[in-house]
Amino acid sequence: MKIHHALNRTVGILVLTSAAFSSSVSLAAPQTMMVAGGCFWCVESDFELVQGVSDVVSGYSGGQTENPTYKQVSTGKTGHFEVVEIQFDDEIVSLEVLANYFWKTIDPTDPYGQFCDKGTPYKTAMFYQSPEQKSVFEASLANVNATKPFKDKIVTEILPAKTFYKAEEYHQSYYTKNPFRYAYYRASCGRDNRIESLWGDVASKQYH
């Protein structure tokens, strides 16, 4: 009887320990960062290269229209930006590193859009979801202003996050679903050439 009681107690402790461990794992949700950098296909492809980033989702945010469609957003009348929501493990890559990387993937001097895409949906912005994120983004911007290798003013805004609306499924991972069309679009839009002319290199190419 004593052996059975001892075994039952041991099993009970193991079950409780396992449950506590599972609970702690489930609470360790990935962090998220939301940015707008022009065409979300390109921003998604750039950030999915970064070690520690587990997922990048294309979507819309910053405007007033609920559950917007791509057609609605592209008119420029919804106030929404094309954005991406980046999920990452902050034990592998920090928000600061991702924020600094972001600048090197865009043209932060363009107030009208990005590269060949113009209008509100294609403007650049960083959307903070907490006071801590705001501080990180502002510090990153201050550092870029102090070290940028060009004279033009940085116009990228740091804004409070609003509701994120996931874009249509055909936009998700577009660069992997349609690699030739994506490559043609990116090249013809002049994204990498403009980034290189500003920063001296293209940040995302370091992963190729």
**DSSP letter (8 states) at residue 148:** -
- The set of catalytic residues is 39
CB 97 within 8 Å of CB 6: no
CB 88 within 8 Å of CB 47: no
Question: Please, what is the angle between helix 179-189 and helix 191-199, to 10°?
Answer: 50
Name the pairing type of β-strands 53-61 and 81-88. Answer: antiparallel
Q: Is 115 left (phi over 0), alpha (psi -120 to 50) or beta?
A: left
Among 108, 140, 125, residue whose Cα is nearest residue 60: 125
CA distance 36 to 127: 8
